[in-house]
């Protein structure tokens, strides 16, 4: 029996005490128009039909649910299943959301998309849908991330996007978001296609809606295959879009554990991690209220992860709500643990995960130690590791 649990779902613009819209006055009409148009699209069957058609015919959904027999042996007989978002067109979960937001932008008559990206997968997905729908595209990316995600930068440029290097601050994801928001303030005719479940209302709700296809599929696939639900669903958490996508369909199933894995980086000391829900406190960043890592002066903290898509000093409000309610569990995995999980999945299953997704594998393997043989864990494999091979090569961990 499913039980409706409000934690993790929006009530208007808010997820409990989190979310909202803390934005400059010049952006208020922009966000109001997006919210208004999105509500019309949500109620329009033809919009949903077009979205689902593109997911099937263009993205390649449904993505596979793969049981990892060899990895399960390593997990003491706990059965590990991967939800294979790495098999999507563009190689990650990001395309699910980009298709939806681009359809909305097109309906609104927008001609130019802007986006931020860290690992580059959202940038590639945004450039992809811009090309598909005949729109121009600017991708803001920190200079540090441009250097460590060079293959994705080339993909974006091949797709016709203009990649804008952000040289401020730490030159990573937070600064890329700052730059994209500044661009929107300067030209409100743009459509900002936000990649994670963050930002002012209605973005967290939209991203959750467009990404919940992950969990909806996984839930149906597990019931069809095993006649039961999993004991746990595990996903990495940076901003939180792949995780909320995997979790949403299971929130009402109180016996299914929802486990988010944050980046502990080099260790849980200042500047060495991006474990927002573990180490942060409630605050406001980029137009929304959630948990936030700060420095001694109350400013956003320096953050770090070996995975470029996870080094963000806040987290989506749905996850903050799930944490506070106790419905979601949030743990950490450091760089070394993630790298070991990367190698383990490569060598046992012939699947090369993104470094972001490697955090989820690490968390699942640790969680399995608390479980009994035959228990089932679904891990959202949010992306493939092609983009990270240069980083891996430099670390010298592959002989």
**Catalytic center residues:** 68, 93
Centre a 10 Å sphere on the Cβ of residue 336 and count the other Cβ atoms it contains: 14
Give CB contacts under 8 A, 24+ apart, made by 218-224: 218/65, 218/83, 218/246, 218/249, 218/378, 218/380, 219/249, 219/250, 221/62, 221/65, 222/65, 222/81, 222/376, 222/378
Beta strands in 13-152 (DSSP E): 14-15, 18-19, 65-67, 79-84, 112-117, 136-142
Return d(Cα 239, Cα 233) in angstroms, integer. Answer: 17
Strands 257-265 and 65-67: unpaired
Return d(Cα 5, Cα 3) in angstroms, integer. Answer: 6
Given a contact cutoff of 8 angstroms between Cβ atoms, the answer to whether 235 and 212 are in contact is no
Return d(Cα 90, Cα 336) in angstroms, integer. Answer: 27
Which of these, 211, 37, 52, 180, lies nearest to 115 by C-alpha position? 180
Given a contact cutoff of 8 angstroms between Cβ atoms, the answer to whether 312 and 245 are in contact is no
Per the structure block, which two tokens stand in for 344? Answer: 């383990």
Return d(Cα 213, Cα 143) in angstroms, integer. Answer: 32
| Helices 28-42/94-107 angle, 10° precision | 100
């Amino acid at each position: 029996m499913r039980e409706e649990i409000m934690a993790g779902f929006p009530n208007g613009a808010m997820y409990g005490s989190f979310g909202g819209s803390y934005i400059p006055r010049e952006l208020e009409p922009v966000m109001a128009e997006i919210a208004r148009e999105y509500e019309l699209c949500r109620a329009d069957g033809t919009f949903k039909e077009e979205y689902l058609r593109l997911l099937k015919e263009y993205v390649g959904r449904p993505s596979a649910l793969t049981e990892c027999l060899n990895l399960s042996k390593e997990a003491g007989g706990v059965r590990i299943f991967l939800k294979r978002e790495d098999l999507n067109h563009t190689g990650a979960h990001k395309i699910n959301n980009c298709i939806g937001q681009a359809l909305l932008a097109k309906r609104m008559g927008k001609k130019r998309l802007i986006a931020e990206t860290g690992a580059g997968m959202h940038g590639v997905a945004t450039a992809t849908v811009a090309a598909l729908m005949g729109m121009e595209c600017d991708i803001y990316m920190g200079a540090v991330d441009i250097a460590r995600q060079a293959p994705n930068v080339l993909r974006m440029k091949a797709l016709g996007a203009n990649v804008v290097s952000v040289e401020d601050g730490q030159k990573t994801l937070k600064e890329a978001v700052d730059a994209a928001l500044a661009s929107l303030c300067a030209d409100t005719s743009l459509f900002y296609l936000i990649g994670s479940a963050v930002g002012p209302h209605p973005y967290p709700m939209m991203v959750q809606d467009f990404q919940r296809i992950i969990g909806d599929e996984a839930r149906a696939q597990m019931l069809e295959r095993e006649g039961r639900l999993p004991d746990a669903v595990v996903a990495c958490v940076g901003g939180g879009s792949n995780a909320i996508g995997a979790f949403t369909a299971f929130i009402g199933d109180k016996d299914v554990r929802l486990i988010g894995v944050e980046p502990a980086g080099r260790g849980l000391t200042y500047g060495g991690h991006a474990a927002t829900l573990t180490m942060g406190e409630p605050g406001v960043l980029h137009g929304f209220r959630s948990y936030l890592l700060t420095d001694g002066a109350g400013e956003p903290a320096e953050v770090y992860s070996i995975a470029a898509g996870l080094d963000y000093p806040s987290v989506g409000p749905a996850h903050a709500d799930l944490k506070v309610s106790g419905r979601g569990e949030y743990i950490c995995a450091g760089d070394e643990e993630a790298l070991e999980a990367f190698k383990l999945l490569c060598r046992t299953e012939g699947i090369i995960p993104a470094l972001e997704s490697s955090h989820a594998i690490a968390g699942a393997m640790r969680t399995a130690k608390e479980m009994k043989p035959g228990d089932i864990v679904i891990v959202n494999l949010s992306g493939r590791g092609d983009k990270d091979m240069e980083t891996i090569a430099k670390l010298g961990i592959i002989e």
